[in-house]
Amino acid sequence: MHRKLLLFFLLVLFVLGFISFTIVNKKLLSKNKPAEAINLVTELPELEEGDLIFRKGRSLVSRIVLMNDSKTDYSHIGIVAFFEKHPYVIHAVPGEPNIEGEEVVKCETPEDFLSSDKASKFAVYRLIEDTGSYSTLAAHKALEYYHARLPFDKAMNFRTDDKLYCTELVWKAYLAAGINITHNRFHMISFSMLSDSLILPGHFIENKSFTQICP
């Protein structure tokens, strides 16, 4: 019993420290934004529903993800969905609460998603043969997650559906549309006390059903 209480206490400390560091790190980066930062949005192609948009973040969390994912240069992923004929990026991320202070699924413009304080590079991938409107179905599912205000999954547990982390959101959106992007292959991550296995951005890069359209 004492061992379980100790592990629970350590888990709580880890989560709180993880979120606090992310918020502080983000504020520091925004204050020290490099003058030569490139506006990544000017390089974006014309986006379509269901496009996968990756970014390489500047935070400590991003560096930890990259340390554990040798298959890609990107640490975060979102999915494109259209609302009133304009593209938005649906994604789940820690340390970026909404105006109510809640860490829930976000719906951002590409400009916000790729702002220079959040991203140093990006890539866009698209489903090659979308014979069943899978991309549109996945985008609509992602919008459902946003409207449901599902919270960020701090436990990184893809086996539950009431909370989501970034890659879990995209995987489950396409899974609901009929495509299993990871083919149920997951990654044992070395630093995690929160979950025994994770979905990483590299799982999406490896899937041959998607092709890189930018850059």
pLDDT digits (tens, 9 = 90+) for 96-154: 999 999 999 999 999 999 998 899 999 999 999 898 899 999 999 999 999 999 999 99
pLDDT score for 38: 53
User: How would residue 40 be classed by pLDDT, with cut points 50, 70 and 90?
Assistant: confident
Residues 6+ apart with CB under 8 A from 46: none
pLDDT in tens, 5-24: 333 333 433 444 444 444 44
Q: Residue range 148-171: average pLDDT?
A: 95
pLDDT score for 193: 53
Give the bridge partners for 124, in sequence order: 53, 214
Give the bridge partners for 123, in sequence order: 54
pLDDT score for 67: 77
| Secondary structure (3-state) at 118 | coil
Place of tokens 């504020």: 27
Residue 204 CA to residue 72 CA, distance in Å, equals 9
pLDDT score for 185: 82
User: How would residue 194 be classed by pLDDT, with cut points 50, 70 and 90?
Assistant: low
Largest Cα–Cα distance in the chain? 56
Residues 6+ apart with CB under 8 A from 203: 71, 167, 171, 181, 182, 185, 186, 187
pLDDT score for 212: 96
User: How would residue 68 be classed by pLDDT, with cut points 50, 70 and 90?
Assistant: confident
Question: Is residue 56 over pLDDT 60?
Answer: yes
User: How would residue 35 be classed by pLDDT, with cut points 50, 70 and 90?
Assistant: very low
What is the residue-averaged pLDDT of the chain? 82
Q: Residue range 58-74: average pLDDT?
A: 77
How many CA within 13 A on the CB side of residue 135? 19
Residue 178 CA to residue 109 CA, distance in Å, equals 26
Question: Is residue 156 over pLDDT 60?
Answer: yes
Q: 147-184: b or e for each residue (b if 16 or more CB lie within 10 Å)? A: eeebebbbbbbbeeeebbbbbbbbbbbbbbbebebbee
pLDDT score for 12: 37
pLDDT score for 37: 40
Alpha helices, H only, the chain = 2-31, 60-67, 110-113, 134-147, 166-177, 201-206
pLDDT score for 172: 98
Residues 6+ apart with CB under 8 A from 185: 203
If 0-12 CB within 10 Å is exposed, 13-18 middle and 19+ buried, where does residue 25 land?
middle
Phi (first) and psi of residue 42, to 5 degrees: -65, -20
pLDDT score for 28: 43
Please give the CATH topology (third level) of the domain spanning 2-32+44-214: endopeptidase fold (from Nostoc punctiforme) (3.90.1720)
